[in-house]
Structure 1
Amino acid sequence: EPGLSSQLKARLQQLVNSHSVMLFMKGTPEAPRCGFSQKVADILKTEGVKFGSFDILSDNEVREGLKKFSNWPTFPQLYCKGELLGGCDIAIAMHESGELKEVFGDHGIALTGSNEIKKGEEGKGGITESTGLSSALTSRLESLVNSCPVMVFMKGNPNEPKCGFSRKVVEILCQENIKFQSFDVLSDEEVRQGLKVYSNWSSYPQLYIKGELIGGSDIVLDMQKSGELNKVLSEKGIKQKESLEDRLKNLIGSSPVMVFMKGTPDAPKCGFSSKVVDALREEGITFGSFDILTDEE
């Protein structure tokens, strides 16, 4: 894998193989930090399979390295016996079709039976949980969440946000030129309290894309910086994939001084790149960098 040290590669291989079923996610199964990670963890619980997990937010080296190692740019990533199965959409599709159960069976992975409460009709992603919400409120929340492809539940409204975190998410969506609708949770206590239970997410704002919870302001900001937000929006058909020309313009303009180099400033992969980094540091110049070895395009 390009750009991976043998030491990091060995560590990733060890992590991937550390459990028969291994989930690399944002947060932990008990406290997920993104809706997609939460969804896959819930699916595995529904399947009744024992799994290990690794919080990629706790280790940037693993987070960035695994993208190259697996050639899969987003998280969560689900592995079975060291083989990448895929991310959230693939896990949902495999779960709903029964294929996931077959894969576990083929690999001799024991299923303990579902601990989840199943109802006659399964909800989103085939997962239903006993939330204690009335069916009327559940139906209302589901309708609100799906009322627009991009939906923000926030304090205040986009023109007058009532908290800094809500303002931040609105700013990010405006920067990305994304059309969205919003709901002011301060205007409706039933929705405010109910959505926390419905989404299993205790704070606001909450950003949903095509009915899926993405997360709060920290996660949205993090996804914007890493380019993951654009990728999710493109995959969901909300935003056209950035052209190479636009991508290059954005990269070039992402920092006042920008270095396209082999490797990173801390681990340059060629002498010329190393010299330029040293010169900029000697001058005390702050600069951004892009490792061209990670992206052939």
Structure 2
Amino acid sequence: MVGGGDGSVKDVRSKKEFDELVKSCSPFILHFWASWCEASKQMDQVFAHLSADFPHVHFFRVEAEEQQEISQCYSLSSVPYFVFCKDGKTVDTLEGADPSSLANKIAKLVDSVESGSSASHASIGMAAGPAVIEAIKEISKEPSSYPGENQTSDLSASLKTRLQQLVDSHPVFLFMKGSPEEPRCGFSKKVVNILKSEGVEFGSFDILSDNEVREGMKKFSNWPTFPQLFSQGELIGGCDIIIAMHEEGELKELIGPKETLEERLKKLISSSPTMVFMKGSPDAPRCGFSSKVVNALREVEVGFGSFDILSDEDVRQGIKTFSNWPTFPQLYHKGELVGGCDIILELHANGELKDTLS
């Protein structure tokens, strides 16, 4: 419960609770917010203060990503987002951080219920305070995206390759919020606990750490929410599906036998026509030899995928044996080893690198 003067904002914590509130409360306003969105947190202050100015309206708050069933009822595509309801029906909505419009729409809702209400014109400046309003003006220049709907353009080739490499990096892979040791949402925590209880080894990626991956995965997998669980490169589903499969005893059977290291290496090598196993990433190499090879490939305008061998000791050691090549970087083309830094630089100096990789 969040207080605002004499008013209050009630947190809705389940779809069942929400359905009961819809039947018993009128009029009411829903504020869909997210803890990671600064504009949501600022508008939350405004929302709480306004609840005091309009004591005859019910103010409810919904954490959009924690209550995905409720969010999906309104086809949510961004936060903050407000829904204005009367007699169980939606009469208005507001997207984004706009304190004045929020106050006016609440006043309009009240006027439609009680003609001539004394609270028909709230002073948003008095309600929220000038410091909050100025902060919101800065934050609200661009709305914050929400995973209920994909708003990104088509995936670039480089991003698609990166996402595929993440999916293929482990036989079972989880895109989640936080880490297995410190999940940052209830759904991610539930899936992690299920996988651990099943004795399943898995890799993971914290989508809160990289917005490009977060947005890209929604389109890549055609799945709008997180967590997302993959097995052998195929999407299994999100939290609800994982829970249902676990309860039916089907999860471990579907995940199947573990992929061998050799199978994993072959999959990584073939994940891009030209593939570099290097230290660091192309944009941030972590050794001079890797940097030289990346520069050579870029100079001849050859597209390539990459894998940071510093991020995975199994791959780092395994690829040495697999290729019979003890050092890094290692460059592959169409599944075959081309060589290391010296060979690549020699091919480049002789003008043969582009032809070799075409």
TM-score range, shorter chain: 0.3 to 0.5
TM norm structure 1 = 0.38
TM norm structure 2 = 0.33
The higher radius of gyration belongs to 2
Q: RCO (CA 8 Å, sep 6+): is it higher in 1 or 2?
A: 1
The structure with the greater share of residues assigned to strand is 2
